[in-house]
Structure 1
Amino acid sequence: MKDPARYAANLKWLFTELPFPERFAAAAAEGFTAVEIPDPYSLPAAQLRRLADDAGVRTILVNTPPGPAGSRSAGGAAGVPGSKAEFRAGLERAAEYASTLGATLVHVVAGRRPDGVSRDRAFASYVDNISWAAAQLKDSGLQIVLEMQNQRNAPRFVLESQAMAAAVVEAVGEPVGLLLDLFHLQVQDGDLLTNLSTYLPLTRHIQIGDAPGRTEPGTGELAWHRISSAIDASGYNGWFGCEFQPQGGSAGVLARLLEAR
């Protein structure tokens, strides 16, 4: 994490004091060279590409689209039984956006297990959908990344542990890898340095945030200098998505990240 060029501003979490189209230029002004757009679907992909190009930043990641608010798939359709058609349409839409934006990573959001649906049934639906998605994107140049989310903040999320996410990656194979979210990993599994050594070999993307409140690194319980050293020593050469609530506001956030490191 020594190179500031490897930090990507998550435009859902940073620069929220600005209208969304203005966040690209704000990220660039802070020194970011890349952005994540978790939910880009409110604007045409071509318009988003122009905003990124004009600001001089690249888009590296998009999420698959959520279902309608209040629906069973509002948190993602991949692990929701009976949502196969919705999932497939969403995956195709995400791939189209990623291709237009020049992003290489598509985060396939697992979603939350609906009431009355067993863990085993939801997980089986998820694995089936990920296998289909991997076959569709195998020769596209896009990478699928899978993220565990902690049960405190995302109750009934289908991927309940990092081990579950890793098992799917290993079972399905290319082009699937892990999105390792350090905030979720600490809250759900703990033992962060040991888990990093276990899961970094499968990791294509890292998102950062301190625990317990998902604030910026250096404001919570995590020893970021030790985490940074462990990641650097692993040889990981991907991006670090800044998916956290900046305690001091978005202005100056990149400088504070480098200081926390």
Structure 2
Amino acid sequence: MGKRNPQPWLVGDELWSRIEPLLPSSPDGQRRPGRKKALEDRKVLCGILFVLYTGIQWEWLPGELGFGSGMSCWRRLRDWNNAGVWQRLHEVLLDELRATDRLDMSRAVIDSSHVRALKGGPKTGRSPVDRGRPGSKHHVICDATGIPLAVTLTGGNRNDVTQLMPLLDAIPSIRGKRGRPRRRPKEVYADRGYDHDCYRRQVRAKGIKPVIARRGTEHGSGLGTKRWVVEQTIALLHWFGRLRIRWEARDDIHEAFLKIACSLICWRRLQPTLR
């Protein structure tokens, strides 16, 4: 087993080669007289990842790291998210995972997790598991091995089942092999929180078999041996310090961090094939 990278926020050449083509071009030659040259995109990205990994507040980003100010990194994160960079990066890495036979779409697994939202904002609500404090939910769908396929953000008071269809719809068209892109898993596994027959019918209408635990039934169905992978994926997402608690009042900034984290989990899965 290799040693853990003590500075995982530093972007290596291989990862940068995937990200750089996705970034919107900068308007070279249009700087105003007297203004400083914009910091290199790669250094700014390292600053964004430093905040994601450590959970540090933007204004506390150490200047000696050379990643620019926290506000500069925040603006670039916002602009790149608006340009769809993080979603496209996730799709690029999913394509590579499929091309290397590391993606298993024989089934997908879905679950959610609560996080506190200390500053409130859109997509928050009174959390039933945190004494009614403001909270949000991370809803995740992954493949049979735990690779994240899509993630959504809602208020902490939203019922899990309301995100079943949005998550299935959010799975991108995954290329990487000849023929038609793959978008639908053969089956979708979920716990009792998704036990509604009307949603089962909607899942079947998409050509997907729903395997959802029934309320009031005893344990022993064997579903847990398939569903544990999504719990592992959620644990990996919350390993990033910035995702354990929602600090952003703006939901789009928190969603940007979620998409970057999904991409980084996919990137780690690719590493054995790149050595």
Higher RCO (CA 8 Å, separation ≥ 6 residues): 2
TM range (shorter): under 0.3
TM-score scaled by structure 2?
0.27
TM-score scaled by structure 1?
0.28
